[in-house]
Amino acid sequence: MAAHYQVVGSTSAAISASVESGIRTGDLAAGDALPAVRALAADLGVSPATVAKAYRELRQRGLVTTAGRHGTRVRPRPPVAARRAALLPPPLTGGRDLSAGQPDPRLLPPLGPHLAALAAEIGPPGGYATDAVLPDLAALARDRLAADRVPAAELTVTGGALDGIERLLAAHLRPGDAVAVEDPGWANLLDLIAALGLRTVGVPVDDDGPTVGGVRAALAAGVRALVVTSRAQNPTGAAVTADRADALRTLLAGRADLLLIEDDHAAELARVPVHPLAGATPAWAFVRSVSKPYGPDLRLAVLAGDEATVARVAGRARVGAGWVSTVLQRLVVSLWRDPATAGLVRRAADSYDRRRDGLVAALAARGVAAHGRTGINVWVPVPDETVAVTALRDAGWSLAPGGLYRIAAAPAVRVSVSALDETDVPALADALTAARKGPFLTHSV
Ligand SMILES: Cc1ncc(COP(=O)(O)O)c(C=O)c1O
C-alpha cells in the first residue's frame, strides 16, 4: 500500500531527510511504499537522478529496500528510532503472544543470589579496565569452547552475539559487500546487514543447517562473509550436523577471501552437540552468547577466532567502548561456576524441547510438516502468511509472519514456544492447521 506521507525536498539530502523524518514520526510505517522515482521527481520538480540518489542513500543505511516491481519500501525495522507507538503492533487482547523469540522469563536463572555474592566480594571500586577479558572468564570460556572442539586460544568479549557479528562485519567488510545468510534467517541479522550498507545473499537452510549447494552458490556470487547459526537456528530450529559440518568444512577449506562467522546463540540451551566449522577458513570467528540460557539482559558473548580477526575486533573496541564491564563478566563467571544454575539451564532446555517437539508432533499428526529440531521456535509453512497470521489472530494467537525472516524462502509463520504452555499445544495445532487452509476452505460447507 502506498503511504499517504508527502515527501518533500529539492535536493537528494533533503528528500532522504524527509523520508527519514516520516519514519521517525511513524507517518511512514514498515512496509509502506515510497513514491516511484519518476513520479516523485515530477512532483518535486527535481531530476529523477536526484530522487534515485536519495533512495540509494536510504537503502545503503538500511532504512528502505528496493525489490524490483515492488518498488521502494520502508524496511521492517529501519535503524532509526521511531516514536514508540509506531513500533508496536496492535495489542492482542485476551490472546497468547507467540511472536517474540525471547527466552521464557520463567526459566531464566535468578540473578539475585549471584549479585549478592558479587556485592560481598567485589572490593573497592575499579577504574578503567586494562584487559578486555577477565582472566577467570577467559579460562572458563576456553574450557567450555575446547570441550566443543572450538579452538579458543584467541578470544575476546562483546556485548552479545549480535554486537560481535556487527564488529566482525565492520572489521572485515566494506559497504556494498555481500554477506551469505541463512534463508530463512534471523530478522535482526538481516536488519543489521542492511543498516551496515551490506548486501545479503540467501543460503537455503534445511534441518541440518545451511545447504552445501546454497553455500557453494553464495561463494560463486562473491560473498565476503558467511554467517552460520550452529544450533537453534532462528526461525527454523536447524542445527548443523556432523555430516553437514564436514561437507561445509571441505567446501570452505582455505577460502582466504571469506570471513566465516558462527553464531552459537543458544549455547547451553541447545541439547544437541555443536559441530563447529571454526578454523576451516583463515579468517573465522565463533560467537557464543549467554543471552538464551542465562538472560538477554546480560548482553555478553564470547568471541573466539583467528588471531588477526580477534585482534581487529578487540583493537577496534579498545578505541571505542573499550570493554564489556567487568562487573558483568564477573556475574557470568559466577553463573558458569554454579552447578545449581547449570541444573536450571538443563531444566529450561528440557522444557523448550518438550513444548517444541510436542507442537511439531501435534502438527505432524494433523498432516502439517513443520520445522523445529532445536531451540525455541517452530517454523510452519503456510500458503499465505497474511491469511494465516490474520486467521490465527482471530483465533487468539499472535505469531510472527515469515516475511520478517525470508529472502526467497517459501512462506511460513514462526511460533515461539517460550510463551506456549504444553496444555495449549493441541488447540494451537488445530488453529494452525485451520489457518493454513485459508478462509475459503474453512468457511466452505
Ligand atoms: C540466531 C540468533 N543469534 C543471536 C541472537 C541474540 O544474541 P545476543 O542477545 O547475544 O545478541 C538471537 C536472538 O534471538 C538469535 O536468534
87: confidence class by pLDDT, cuts 50, 70, 90: very low
N residues, the chain:
445
If one residue of 234, 236, 378 were mutated to test the ligand 1 pocket, choosing by the most ligand atoms within 8 A of its CB, it would be 234
Would the pLDDT of 228 be above 50? Answer: yes
Position 273 scores a pLDDT of 97
3: confidence class by pLDDT, cuts 50, 70, 90: low
Q: Provide the residue type at 277 as one letter.
A: L
How many other C-beta atoms lie within 10 A of the C-beta of residue 183? 21
Distance of CA 324 to the CA centre of its chain: 21
Following CA atoms 263, 268, 273, 276 in sequence, which dihedral angle do they give, to the nearest 10 degrees?
A: 30
- For residue range 101-114, list pLDDT tens digits in order: 899 999 999 999 99
Average pLDDT, the chain: 93
If one residue of 233, 265, 268 were mutated to test the ligand 1 pocket, choosing by the most ligand atoms within 8 A of its CB, it would be 265
- Residues 6+ positions from 263 with CB-CB distance below 8 Å: 161, 165, 186, 189, 227, 228, 229, 230, 287, 289
* Mean of pLDDT values over 63-78: 87
Q: Which residues contact ligand 1 via a Cβ below 6 A? A: 101, 160-162, 186, 229, 234, 263, 265, 289, 291, 296, 301
148: alpha, beta or left? (left if phi > 0; alpha if psi -120 to 50): alpha
What is the Å distance from ligand 1's center to 413 Cα?
19
Closest ligand 1 atom to the C-alpha of 289?
10
Q: Provide the residue type at 443 as one letter.
A: H
What is the Å distance from ligand 1's center to 298 Cα?
12
- Residues 6+ positions from 142 with CB-CB distance below 8 Å: 152, 153, 155
Position 442 scores a pLDDT of 41
Q: Where do we find the cell 530463512?
A: 184
Q: Whose CA is nearest to atom 2 of ligand 1?
A: 265
Q: In 189-347, at which residue ranges do the beta strands (DSSP E only) sit? A: 199-206, 209-210, 225-229, 259-264, 283-289, 301-305
What is the Å distance from ligand 1's center to 94 Cα?
29
| Higher pLDDT pick, 76 / 195 | 195
- For residue range 360-387, list pLDDT tens digits in order: 999 999 999 999 999 999 999 999 999 9
Angle at 72 between CA 46 and CA 50, to 5 degrees: 20
Closest ligand 1 atom to the C-alpha of 164?
11
What is the Å distance from ligand 1's center to 293 Cα?
11
Position 69 scores a pLDDT of 74
How many other C-beta atoms lie within 10 A of the C-beta of residue 78? 24
Would the pLDDT of 445 be above 50? Answer: no
Would the pLDDT of 423 be above 90? Answer: yes
Q: Which of 25, 66, 19 is nearest to 40 (CA)?
A: 19
Residue 266, CA distances (Å) to 53, 216, 257, 371 in order: 41, 26, 28, 17
Q: How far apart are the C-alpha atoms of 72 and 40, rounded to whole Å?
A: 12
Angle at 259 between CA 217 and CA 57, to 5 degrees: 80
Would the pLDDT of 221 be above 60? Answer: yes
Q: Is 121 exposed, middle or buried (0-12, 13-18, 19+ CB in 10 A)?
A: exposed
> Model's pTM, two decimal places?
0.92
Q: Provide the residue type at 376 as one letter.
A: I
What is the Å distance from ligand 1's center to 290 Cα?
9
Would the pLDDT of 4 be above 70? Answer: yes
Position 132 scores a pLDDT of 86
- Supply 115's cell numbers: 549479585
Would the pLDDT of 359 be above 60? Answer: yes
What is the Å distance from ligand 1's center to 191 Cα?
13
443: confidence class by pLDDT, cuts 50, 70, 90: very low
Produce one character per residue of 290-312: b if its CB has 16 or more CB atoms within 10 Å, e if not.
Answer: bbbbbbeebbbbbbbbbeebbeb
* Mean of pLDDT values over 64-69: 84
Closest ligand 1 atom to the C-alpha of 233?
1
Position 82 scores a pLDDT of 67
Q: What Rg value do the Cα atoms of the chain yield, rounded? A: 23
Q: Which of 150, 213, 205, 155 is nearest to 182 (CA)?
A: 205
- Structural domains of the chain in order of their starting residue, each with its CATH number: 12-74 (1.10.10.10), 86-106+341-437 (3.90.1150.10), 131-336 (3.40.640.10)
Task: With H, G, I as helix, E, B as strand and everything else as coil, classify residue 415.
Answer: strand
Position 1 scores a pLDDT of 47
Would the pLDDT of 126 be above 50? Answer: yes
Closest ligand 1 atom to the C-alpha of 162?
11
Q: How far apart are the C-alpha atoms of 4 and 2, rounded to whole Å?
A: 7
- Supply 197's cell numbers: 550498507
* Mean of pLDDT values over 67-79: 85
- Supply 162's cell numbers: 549480535
Please, which residues bridge with residue 302 across strands?
Answer: 157, 288
- For residue range 134-172, list pLDDT tens digits in order: 999 999 999 999 999 999 999 999 999 999 999 999 999
- Supply 170's cell numbers: 565492520
| Minimum mean pLDDT range among 25-29, 128-132, 313-317 | 128-132
Please, which residues bridge with residue 380 across strands?
Answer: 413
How many other C-beta atoms lie within 10 A of the C-beta of residue 180? 27
Determine what percent of the chain is predicted with pLDDT higher than 90: 87
Distance of CA 436 to the CA centre of its chain: 25
Q: In 359-429, at which residue ranges do the beta strands (DSSP E only) sit? A: 377-381, 397-398, 400-401, 412-416
Q: Do residues 259 and 284 touch, judged by C-beta distance below 8 A?
A: yes
254: confidence class by pLDDT, cuts 50, 70, 90: confident
Q: Do residues 278 and 146 touch, judged by C-beta distance below 8 A?
A: no
Q: Whose CA is nearest to atom 14 of ligand 1?
A: 101
Q: Whose CA is nearest to atom 7 of ligand 1?
A: 161
Q: How far apart are the C-alpha atoms of 248 and 240, rounded to whole Å?
A: 10
Closest ligand 1 atom to the C-alpha of 160?
10
Residue 335, CA distances (Å) to 24, 129, 199, 329, 338 in order: 39, 21, 38, 10, 5
What is the Å distance from ligand 1's center to 319 Cα?
25
